[in-house]
Every structure is written in C-alpha cells, then in structure tokens.
Structure 1
Amino acid sequence: MQEFAEYARHDALGLAALVARGEVSAAELLYTAQCRADRAQPRLNALVRRMDVEAAATLRAGIPPGPFAGVPYLLKDLMQAYAGVPMSMGSAALRDYVPVQDDVLVQRLKRAGLVIFGKTNVPEWGLVAYTEPKTFGVTRNPWDITRTPGGSSGGSAAAVAARIVPAAGANDGGGSIRIPAAYCGLFGLKP
C-alpha cells in the first residue's frame, strides 16, 4: 500500500469527503497515518499505545457512515476508555488497567466513523500543563523539540501539529485543551 500524498492538505471533514467520493480508501488513510506516526514518534513521543489491531478490525467490520467516516484518529490516554485497551492516565499505577466498556465519548467517536489507531501521551493524571510523565517519558513540540506541547492534551496536540492525524482526542478541566492548542499553533475545541 502507498501513502496518500495529499493527506496533510485536508482536515478531518475533507478526508471524510474524499473517502465518501471514493477518491481514497479508509485503509489508505490509516496506512498513511500509521506511517506518519512511525516517523514522528521517535522524535516527539506523542503516542503511548498503538491500536493497529483494533483499527484493522474496524476496517474489516465496516465503518459507520458518520460525518468522519474513514478518518484516522487518536484517543487521549485519559478519561477516554476503549474497551479491552489499557488506559493508564499517564500513571504507572494504572499502566495495566483495562476498561471493560467504551466511554460514551468513544462510542460516539466510533459511530462518527473515526478509525481509532492509538492513544496519546498525557501528564500523570492530567494534573500539570506539560506532558512529561515518568511512565511514558517527555512529549516534544513538533515546531521546536526543545519545547513542550503543553498539557494535559499534549500528546494529542503534538500528533495533530505533526500532521499524524487531522484531529485527536482531548479533554479540559483547567486548560488541558487550550494550553496545548496555543503551544502547538492549533485550534482546540472545548464544547
């Protein structure tokens, strides 16, 4: 399979429209995102867990015809439980915790047609504005790897800024979307 050359020129809705028109397949988009993650990961450490098996199963089962059908996506490894996949929340204490059911948000993301293929790095328990958990190591800002992408959604922001995915999971209690968005030159949505 070949990488989709125009991947980084589209946002999530644009990629979904290309899939809907048959100009690119969801499998090609996933492959492109995985390749981009493989290249960026050693430098950025944005991901803490790959979910390639789960993503392949999503493609085999058939993607729901939602507004983001076929678009690759990364979950934040904090409060975004995916059944059967560990969720550590950046902590060694929860490194082996495996949720038995999807969070409502994850259920909705799946119904929207997103193809989830990994989880992003977070500070331990999401408590600080930089992403440097002892369990998984420091996440770097793709614009300048000597700087932080912020936190607690720092791994997600780094992944989007590096164009691994057009959008990624985040949540915000005290700036955890807003800080990484500002540090990485992104637009963060806090509904």
Structure 2
Amino acid sequence: MVVDDHSKRLLGAVLKDNDVLQENVTPHPSPVIEGINTHRGEQSLEAMYLLMPTSQNVERIIADFSNGHKRYGGAHLFFIDGLPEPLLNHLVNSPAEPFLRACQDLYVNFAALEQRVFSIRSPAFFFSMYAPHKDVPASTFTPRKADAAQMSPMQVAVKGVRERLDNDMRFMAKSASRSPDRLFALLK
C-alpha cells in the first residue's frame, strides 16, 4: 500500500499498521504501508495507492512507471477525494497507463473521530464561523460534509451556527440525501 502523508493520517485514525498486516495484503514480510515520497524498491507485486488527488501525487505515480522504471507489477489507484478531469487525462495519457489496473474516487476526505463523529479538519473554518466580520462561503465545506453524510448509514445531523448558513445547509442536506431511509436534520 502506497500512501501520502494526508491519507496516512486519515488511515491511521481508523487502522493501525498491524490491522493492515492481519488482512494479508502482502504475501511476504515487507513494509506494507509505504510513503509515496520515500524511496521504494522495485517489486513484482501490484500496489494499492491511497492518495489525495494532487498533481504532485499523479506525477509520482507516473514516475513509478516511466523512464524504464516499473516500481510495481501494476497500480490500483484510490483517491480520497474526486480526481479532477485534467489530472485523470494526464494519468491515462502517460507511460503509466498500461500498468493502471483500477482508478476510483472514494470521497473519504474526513477524519473519523468516533463511530458517529467526523471532522473535515479545516482550521480556517472555525474562524470563519465565529468571526463576526466575515461571511462564510458554505460552498467551501459543503461537498466534504455531504461526502461524509453519504458514507454514514446512520442519521446525520448538520448543525448550522449562523442563520445565514441555514439555506446552504438545508440545500446540502437535501442534495446529500440519496436514499429515503436516511434522515438529515438541520438544528439551530
């Protein structure tokens, strides 16, 4: 498994390295979780990449399979947010394309603090919400909350702390609700 620093932190919040080892993700005793920005030797095994969809990570994936290098037998790519179309096009039109076995957007870019509690970990969001002189652009945090709400099989409560967010939060709750058995409540 190849991760970047951000996805390693997200993964570490829910799994320990031993938990991954117990799932038999590799048949031999080698480092199971490798950093994408560290030196990695060539292996014949296929690798699973769990990464943020950034241009740097896409370039690193391409570098793993170009210029005569074949770092792994193949690549299964999982991005924790949606991969933008230009980056996807760059990836599939690169020397790495023949080695790509899967490419999937997971939309799990939030930290699971407890079973029913998540955080989008945006320090600027706190100041935006509680600073009296700032307007809060709800569109900047709505997609990540919607992703988290969609992943949860339980009820999701979205709490808006300012009245001007009320309509944006209600819109987010409606758009995230794709199945009638989930309840999205807006609390004041």
- Give the number of the structure with larger relative contact order, counting CA–CA contacts within 8 Å between residues 6 or more apart: 1
TM-score, scaled to structure 2: 0.28
Bigger Rg over Cα: 2
TM-score, scaled to structure 1: 0.28
Say which structure is richer in strand: 2
